[in-house]
Amino acid sequence: MSSLPMSFEPLELDDARWREILTPDEYRVLRREATERSGSSPLNEEKRAGTYVCAGCNLALFSSEHKFESGTGWPSFYQPIHPDHIGTRKDFRLIWPRTEYHCARCGGHQGHVFDDGPQPTGKRWCNNGAALDFVPEGEDLPELRAS
């Protein structure tokens, strides 16, 4: 597996370009902050060793080593692959505030982080499967997507 990029340039594309390169489901989740239906992503059942990358720009976000079955119907992880690959902000769209997270490179919405995960972090990074692609162990990570 190729090494992880630890520094990268932000990827800023206009809306028309995002619509060209993303599937409709990826676009709704990554660019419009939609939430896919619980249990709808095949990545929730993915058990192989590998890396989960942003479906928008291919930045490595999570390792299968940190994935766990949360019972929520969404792929869940107890920590990101590298803290610089994730950005967070408060989300006030529901009655209570939540912490939303996104890909630090392209800004694509990934999901929300909660304080009910397993040790060693106690966090549950609850991700939309449509926002991720899976790269099995032994395969090279895809190049970071350019414009």
Beta partners for 50? 136
Tell me which of 54, 57, 106, 126 is the catalytic residue.
Answer: 126
pLDDT tens-place values along the chain, 147 residues long: 445 656 788 999 999 999 999 999 999 999 999 999 999 999 999 999 999 999 999 999 999 999 999 999 999 999 999 999 999 876 656 666 778 999 999 999 999 999 999 999 999 999 999 999 999 999 999 998 876
pTM above 0.85, yes or no: yes
Sign, CA torsion 78/4/73/23: positive
Examine the residue annotation and report whether 54 is marked as an active-site residue of this protein.
no
Per DSSP, what are the bridge partners of residue 101? 88, 111
Phi/psi for 45 (5° steps) reads: -95, 0
CB contact burial 63-98 (16+ within 10 A = b; e otherwise):
bbebbeebeeebbbbbbbbbeebbeeeeeeeeeeee
Q: Which domains does the chain have, with CATH numbers?
A: 15-136 (2.170.150.20)
